[in-house]
Homo-oligomer: A and B are copies of this chain.
């Protein structure tokens, strides 16, 4: 038996202190005019991972971004025209890198736009379920993955990092405890540089040191 095979992408970014998801407004039936996750069919000889990169590029103009499989959604009734198996992936982009590039690249969608995960519109297909499942996983893995750093520029302040944690976990954290833990982990590199262009005391900048992180997590 054969099935149609698509990819849907949960593309996150961080802006205005909130965790945001990129959605597209559909211009085709079924679910015409509904908001949906960016998604499309996988080509015959295209690797799944390549397909995810392609859609990410088509929607955001970005390349070479970390991405993770969430799982397959294959309900016979998830699509009105019969089973379309979709594999959901999630990726994280930096809002500022993307904001000027986003535009609909195909006639299948009318526009693309960011929504805070706390204020999503009604969504086509089972996309709401996909997002919720993805969010849960993001929360669960926050301490074991490099995900948080994907939201931030190369150089960032500890306050920015804490805001990302808070947006993902959906709760406030204690500043001193947060810094203590981060310092303890020891995979941030303190730079001899501070923020610029702020009208208050400039914060020190840090870099994420991937090598130290991998030692910490125990990657071989």
Contacts and interface: CB of A to CB of B under 8 A. Distances in A.
Interface string A1-32: 11111000000000000000000000000000
A78 B2 CA distance: 17
A211 interface: no
Given A72-B71, A74-B87, A1 B48 contact: no
Interface in A47-84: 47-48, 69-72, 74-76, 83
Contacts of A48: 72, 74-75
Contact of A87 (B44, B45, B46, B72): B72
A42 interface: yes
A41 B2 CA distance: 9
B2 A3 contact: yes
A36 interface: no
Q: How many of chain A's residues touch chain B, expressed as a range?
A: 20 to 34
A85 interface: yes
Number of copies: 2
Contacts of A209: none
A72 B75 contact: no
Interface in A140-154: none
A187 to B, nearest CB: 20
B3 A46 contact: no
Contacts of A76: 45-47
A43 interface: yes
Contact of A44 (B1, B41, B75, B85): B1
Nearest to A48: B74
A1 B72 contact: no
A76 B49 CA distance: 11
By Cβ-Cβ distance, the 6 closest A-B pairs, closest first, are A2-B2, A72-B72, A48-B74, A72-B87, A3-B5, A1-B44
Given A2-B5, A48-B75, 19 more contacts: A1-B4, A1-B5, A1-B41, A1-B42, A1-B43, A2-B3, A3-B5, A3-B85, A5-B85, A44-B83, A47-B74, A47-B76, A48-B72, A48-B74, A69-B72, A71-B87, A72-B72, A74-B87, A85-B85
